[in-house]
Amino acid sequence: MGERYAVRAEGMEKRYGDKHALAGFGLAVREGTVHGLLGPNGAGKTTAVRILSTLVRLDGGRAEVAGLDVVRQARQVRARIGLTGQYAAVDEVLTGRQNLEMFGRLFHLGGRRARVRAAELLERFDLADAADRGVGEYSGGMRRRLDLAASMILSPAVLFLDEPTTGLDPRSRGEVWEAVRALVADGTTVLLTTQYLEEADKLASRITVIDQGRAIADDTPNGLKDLVGGDRIEVVVADRAEIPRVVKTVARVCEGEPEADEEASRVHAPVTDRVAALTEVARTLQDEGVAVEDIGLRRPSLDDVFLRLTGLRTTAAEEAVAA
Ligand SMILES: Nc1ncnc2c1ncn2[C@@H]1O[C@H](COP(=O)(O)OP(=O)(O)O)[C@@H](O)[C@H]1O
Ligand SMILES: [Mg+2]
């Protein structure tokens, strides 16, 4: 069964003067999915998205979007994509509806089709009630949803979202996530860049981690978490002086080596049989009369993954220098 890809790129190179913005970056995005491109500020995310959306020239390597070469078939690529940037392109003075109708006419939809499409999109992005209010009065989340709607005017096959929730409060961020989920349910493929690990975790079925212009990992969110090991049990004690006793108990019950974080009054250790370990540790500590503030199981977060990956990269670079 052949997988179909909305984006395939290999060995992408981009230099700005002596700055290597992309240094052999590649990724493959399956059709009909949300793919996360996760990396810190300056990693090369926007550069990659701008090349894939034909706005910036590739210096080396190759990239295809919707099966079309981004350099040789740039015009056809542009007809199949939508792009939402970090900065919204909507006009403050106009209403939400007027903005969308204007975009529709810019894309040569014709007056009536532009009106119909605008109404559909206002409904879809939950903006129907605010449609005839000036965008100046919109909240951050509403503006970002309007921006998403504008990029969907032509029903693109592939949508690039460059940090769609940066600068939004948690509630607005959740609203944008809902909108992205709705798009994918409709069959659009989304490549979403983010600095938020939680966002990639929530939305993406696959994640490419980018750092210094290179892909340093590519996996499912769970696959990435497995990189840093499995579940851990965590015990937070009321009194730090109890830490040595807790370490002993946890060591006896769990097979992995416990670690203590004195600062946080916390002991943690890897576990395999999650529930058995949790009940056993909780009961033993209670029998021993240790005052426990909190006890629980924790799956490694993407934060752990990211620290681990970028940490490994640093180590590898240091070793290369030392060699
Ligand atoms: N137009 C440009 N001119 C010079 N340097 C640039 C330009 N665009 C990006 N860069 C540099 O390339 C690197 C990657 O930038 P960018 O792709 O914007 O990263 P991200 O979107 O992940 O924050 C950064 O070091 C940035 O300073
Ligand atoms: Mg960027």
Span 183-241, pLDDT tens digits: 888 889 999 999 888 899 899 999 999 999 999 999 999 888 877 777 889 999 999 99
Q: CA dist 184 to 33, 52, 148, 149, 224, Å?
A: 6, 19, 13, 13, 22
- Please give the distance, rounded to the nearest whole angstrom, from the Cα atom of residue 163 to the centre of ligand 2: 7
What confidence score (pLDDT) does residue 293 get? Answer: 95
Sheet strands side by side (includes 214-219): 81-84, 158-162, 189-194, 34-38, 206-211, 214-219
Ligand 1 pocket member 50 (CB < 6 A) = no
Ligand 1 pocket member 47 (CB < 6 A) = yes
Residue for token pair 């006890």: 295
Q: CA dist 219 to 48, 124, 134, 200, 208, Å?
A: 18, 31, 42, 12, 7
- Please give the distance, rounded to the nearest whole angstrom, from the Cα atom of residue 48 to the centre of ligand 1: 10
CB distance 122 to 152 below 8 Å: no
CA 70 to chain centre: 23
pTM value is: 0.80
The low-confidence residues of the chain, meaning pLDDT below 50, are 1, 317, 323
Ligand 1 pocket member 43 (CB < 6 A) = yes
- CA of 86, nearest ligand number: 2
What confidence score (pLDDT) does residue 151 get? Answer: 87
What confidence score (pLDDT) does residue 72 get? Answer: 96
Ligand 1 pocket member 41 (CB < 6 A) = yes
Ligand 1 pocket member 39 (CB < 6 A) = yes
